[in-house]
């Protein structure tokens, strides 16, 4: 079953958290965790884009934008 866009946002958020952990304490374990999280995100992006028939790049950028520049929720 393909990943949803919300899944992609969650995976990107996890990859960003793993990157921050590596930046704070760079060692082999935190680097491996960061690379694994980034790989999981990329695999999900490819799967989602193929299932939706859209550009992998557009899907990736939309997920990253949602994580890095979240829009305030409407009241």
| Per-residue model confidence as pLDDT tens digits over 18-43 | 999 999 999 999 999 999 999 999 99
Contact 45, 58 (CB under 8 A): no
Give residue-wise pLDDT tens across range 39-55. Answer: 999 999 999 999 999 99
H helices within the chain, ranges in order?
A: 5-24, 28-52, 56-68
Q: Is the pTM here over 0.85, yes or no?
A: yes
């Amino acid at each position: 079953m393909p990943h949803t866009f919300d899944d992609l946002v969650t995976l990107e958020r996890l990859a960003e958290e793993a990157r921050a952990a590596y930046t704070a304490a760079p060692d082999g374990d935190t680097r491996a965790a960061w690379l694994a999280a980034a790989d999981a995100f990329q695999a999900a992006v490819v799967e989602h884009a193929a299932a939706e028939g859209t550009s992998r790049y557009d899907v990736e950028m939309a997920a990253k934008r949602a994580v890095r520049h979240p829009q305030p929720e409407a009241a």
